[in-house]
Amino acid sequence: MSQDVLFVGDANLDLLLSDLENGLQEDKEVFCDECEWTLGGSCTLTAAAFARLGGSCDFCGLLGDDTNGGTVRDALAEAGVGVDLLRMDPHKKTGLTVNIIQGRNRTQITYPGSLLDVDETDTILKTMGKYRHIHFSGIYGTKKFLPRIEEILLHAKRNHLTVSLDTQWDATERWDYIERWLPHVDWLLINEDEARSIASRLGAHGEVLKSVDHVWNFLLSKTPSPIIKMGKKGAFARGRIYPPCDVESITDTTGAGDSLAATFLYAVLVANYDFDGAMTLSQAGGALACTFTGGYSSKFTLPAVEKLKDAGTKSS
């Protein structure tokens, strides 16, 4: 059976420590009221959200064949993501991100584990014919995979697949290979900091970097459709701001950008929304992800996203 999307990128487990009684202090113990293990990794979160909306998809990546890896695999399968292309290596340890959440502030510490050895290029090239679209996310933690992404992009374009890219942050800010990828990417989904850093890497400077519309215009000269995620300010695409969808209270912003990307992909690839409609629905998807702790929840459903979108539309 042909699937809509192949998701390729990072996968790990998240440990969420929230509702801290006090701020972090050197050499002092701090207690928290909530502790939860949940699905982590930008690409796996996006795949799970896409599947929960009703999209058909597979995830291709690498995990350790350990307890943490089993938890990630089971969470993906529970969400409806195909895991036949998810490789489990008994000689690797699954990556782990510890999220320390205090109010709207979040500190993350990541042990990369199996991310350092991910390179599923051969599998992707062999199975690409099953899909209509490939989504890359969280790739700058996968050092061995980076040099081969261009090969996949070129093969995808030859086979008439559409492609989206959510880079996530590159800690080196070198953004290796980015100039080679962007011409082949149909939708580039990045946040403001990533957009400015990438634009700077590609030669933008001065006034161009001071406003999101100038950054967007610069990136438009490099890639067909940049989409800049701006959190509570909405998103910028096609020369305009798409306003945010408000919720009564924000619990945690973890995974909001991933849920926005998943909702956009569902809207354009599955539900046949036009671009403006997809951007509006994606704002509701991102907002809904802020109403629960962590980046993944059974609360993330298409009816809940549509209800939030309709409420936002009526109030605007």
User: In total, how many domains does the chain have?
Assistant: 1
Q: Note the pLDDT tens digit of each residue in 208-261.
A: 999 999 999 999 999 999 999 999 999 999 999 999 998 888 887 889 999 999
Q: Look at residue 316 in the predicted model and tell me its pLDDT.
A: 45
Kindly report the three-state secondary structure assignment for every residue of the chain. CCEEEEEEECCEEEEEEEEECCCCCCCCCCCEEEEEEEEECHHHHHHHHHHHHCCCEEEEEEEECCHHHHHHHHHHHHHCCECCCEEEECCCCCCEEEEEEECCEEEEEEECHHHHHCCCHHHHHHHHHHEEEEEEECHHHCCCCHHHHHHHHHHHHHCCCEEEEECCCCCCCCCCCHHHHHHHCCEEEEEHHHHHHHHHHCCCCHHHHCCHHHHHHHHHCCCCCEEEECHHHCEEECCEEECCCCCCCCCCCCCHHHHHHHHHHHHHHCCCCCHHHHHHHHHHHHHHHHHCCCCCCCCCCHHHHHHHHHHHHHHC
Q: Note the pLDDT tens digit of each residue in 266-279.
A: 999 999 999 999 99
pLDDT above 60 for 286: yes
What CATH number did the domain enclosing 155 receive? 3.40.1190.20
Is residue 203 in a domain?
yes
Is residue 129 in a domain?
yes
Domain that residue 261 falls in: 3-11+42-94+114-315
Q: Note the pLDDT tens digit of each residue in 151-205.
A: 999 999 999 999 999 999 999 999 999 999 999 999 999 999 999 999 999 999 9
Q: Note the pLDDT tens digit of each residue in 127-147.
A: 999 999 999 999 999 999 999
Q: Look at residue 315 in the predicted model and tell me its pLDDT.
A: 46
Is residue 23 in a domain?
no
